């Protein structure tokens, strides 16, 4: 009997052997990291670190920091790392998965400012750009894409009602300022004014694996079973697993 998985379960290690992916976050001498996978994901001991989260895949490295964040310590639960109260009323969560790392900002109450959340991005030798479909791609000098950031999405707690549509427009804008790269994450303030808190804002950082295309999550939630969490790169199927 063949088994069909919703995501990849093995990866090739540097020696060319297939190993099982283990997305749990564990501690080693250098700090917190994913246990095993096609990329190494590392997390800082404080949310105000210069490299809050770092993703390494082969020869490529990319890291992000959150300027002006509080010095909160991470809380680990399986494959999830939470930095509580990085700003007043805002938690920052990271979920490690086989294709990269998903980031969720949890707005527990209305914030005092409508300004976007700015993440500093250190792409190393990679060149960031925004595609016509709204993805942020990071490619090397030859043009090979190493990482991708899909368009941001946001939803509020009214998603607990099945009839509601949880996804709302959010933006992840690539900005270059003073020779530094940033990603500005924002949600429409008009929608936030009437949103039911907590509000969740969800970008992700994905591996491209040199294939030129990448599949992303396509799923349903029991919180909103009539809504499809799928973008235009999902592969349609008539089978329910």
Q: Which of 197, 158, 206 is nearest to 39 (CA)?
A: 206
Mean pLDDT over the full length of the chain: 81
In a domain, 67, yes or no: yes
Domain count, the chain: 1
Q: Express each pLDDT in 48-101 by its tens digit.
A: 999 999 999 888 999 999 999 999 999 999 999 999 999 999 999 999 988 789
Q: Which of 179, 38, 161 is nearest to 97 (CA)?
A: 38
The tokens describing 61, both together, are 């490295």
Cα distance between residue 73 and residue 59, in whole Å: 29
In a domain, 237, yes or no: no
Q: Express each pLDDT in 115-135 by its tens digit.
A: 789 999 999 999 999 999 999
- Residues constituting the chain: 241
**Average pLDDT over every residue of 23-45:** 90
pTM, 2 dp: 0.81
In a domain, 12, yes or no: no
Domain that residue 223 falls in? 26-229
pLDDT of residue 163: 44
Q: Tell how strand 204-207 and strand 219-221 pair up.
A: unpaired
In a domain, 241, yes or no: no
In a domain, 201, yes or no: yes
In a domain, 236, yes or no: no
Q: Which of 148, 50, 26 is nearest to 41 (CA)?
A: 26
Cα distance between residue 136 and residue 145, in whole Å: 10
pLDDT of residue 6: 54
pLDDT of residue 240: 31
In a domain, 117, yes or no: yes
* Pick from 22-26, 195-199, 214-218: least confident: 214-218
In a domain, 240, yes or no: no
């Amino acid at each position: 009997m063949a088994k069909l998985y919703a995501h990849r379960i093995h990866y090739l290690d540097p020696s060319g052997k297939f190993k099982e992916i283990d997305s749990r976050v564990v501690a080693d001498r250098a700090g917190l990291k994913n246990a095993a996978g096609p990329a190494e994901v590392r997390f800082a001991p404080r949310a105000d670190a210069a490299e809050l989260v770092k993703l390494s895949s082969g020869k490529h490295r990319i890291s992000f920091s959150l300027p002006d964040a509080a010095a909160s310590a991470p809380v680990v639960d399986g494959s999830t790392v939470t930095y509580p109260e990085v700003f007043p009323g805002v938690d920052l969560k990271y979920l490690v998965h086989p294709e990269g790392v998903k980031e969720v900002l949890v707005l527990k109450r209305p914030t005092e400012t409508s300004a976007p959340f700015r993440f500093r991005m250190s792409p190393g030798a990679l060149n960031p750009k925004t595609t016509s479909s709204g993805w942020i791609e990071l490619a090397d000098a030859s043009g090979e894409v190493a990482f991708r950031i899909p368009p941001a999405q946001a939803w509020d707690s009214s998603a607990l009602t099945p009839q509601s549509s949880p996804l709302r427009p959010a933006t992840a804008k690539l900005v270059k300022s003073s020779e530094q790269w940033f990603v500005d994450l924002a949600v429409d303030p008009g929608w936030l004014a009437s949103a039911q808190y907590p509000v969740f804002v969800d970008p992700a950082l994905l591996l491209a694996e040199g294939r030129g295309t990448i599949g992303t999550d396509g799923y349903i939630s029991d919180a909103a079973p009539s809504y499809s969490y799928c973008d235009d790169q999902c592969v349609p199927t008539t089978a329910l697993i």
